[in-house]
Amino acid sequence: MAGTDLPLKVAIVHYHLRRGGVTRVIESAKEALKRRGIELLILSGEEPRPEAASQSVRVIPALNYRRTGNADIAESLAEALKAAAEKYFGGQPDIWHFHNPTLAKNVLLPTAIRELASDGARIVLQLHDFAEDGRPGNYSAQRSFFDSESSFETTLYPMARQIHYATINHRDYDYLKSAGVPESNLHVIPNAISPLTVITGAEDRPFSEGKLFALYPTRGIRRKNLGELLLLALIFGDRIDFATTLSPENLEWEGVHDLWRAAAEELELPVTLGIADSGEYEFLDLVGWSDFIVTTSISEGFGLAFLEPWMADKCVFGRDLPDITSDFERNGLKISNLYPRIGFPMEWLDEKVLYSEIESMLRRSYLAYDCRMPRNAVEQTWKEWVGNGRIDFGVLNEELQLTVLRKLKENPDLMEQMRVPTLSLCSEPEIEAARKVVETVYSLEGYGQRLEELYDQVANSPTSKVKHLATSKVLKQFLNPSRLNLLRN
Domains and CATH numbers, the chain: 9-192+443-483 (3.40.50.2000), 202-342+420-440 (3.40.50.2000), 345-410 (no CATH)
**Taking a C-beta distance cutoff of 8 angstroms, is the pair 355, 382 a contact?**
yes
Write the burial class of residue 371 (CB in 10 Å: 0-12 exposed, 13-18 middle, 19+ buried): middle
Instruction: Report H helices in 67-165.
Output: 71-89, 109-118, 136-145, 149-153
Phi/psi at 67 (nearest 5 deg)?
A: -115, 5
Quick one: which of 58, 126, 121 has its CA closest to 92? 121
pLDDT of residue 403: 97
For position 4, what pLDDT does the model report? 54
Residue count of the chain: 489
Partnered with residue 246 across adjacent β-strands are 219
CA angle 207, 213, 214 (to 5 degrees): 140
Terminal Cα-to-Cα distance of the chain (whole angstroms):
45
Nearest to residue 97, comparing CAs of 123, 129, 66?
A: 123
Model pLDDT, residue 1: 44
Sequential pLDDT tens for the chain (489 residues): 444 567 999 999 999 998 888 999 999 999 999 999 999 999 999 998 887 678 899 999 999 999 999 999 999 999 999 999 999 999 999 999 999 999 999 999 999 999 999 999 999 999 999 999 989 999 999 999 987 777 898 899 999 999 999 999 999 999 999 999 999 999 999 999 988 889 999 999 999 999 999 999 999 999 999 999 999 999 999 999 999 999 998 888 899 999 999 999 999 999 999 999 999 999 999 999 999 999 999 999 999 999 999 999 999 999 999 999 999 999 999 999 999 999 999 999 999 999 999 999 999 999 999 999 999 999 999 999 998 899 999 999 999 999 999 999 999 999 999 989 999 899 999 999 999 999 999 999 999 999 999 999 999 999 999 999 999 999 999 998 878 899 986
Alpha helix locations (H) across 276-316? Answer: 283-289, 304-307
Specify the amino acid at residue 163.
I
Q: What is the pLDDT of residue 2?
A: 47
Q: How far is CA 220 from CA 154, 276, 293, 294, in A?
A: 37, 12, 15, 13
SS3 273: coil
The answer to whether 188 and 176 are in contact (CB under 8 A) is: no
Contacts of 29 (CB under 8 A, 6+ apart): 12, 40, 97, 447, 448, 451
This prediction's pTM: 0.93
pLDDT of residue 19: 81
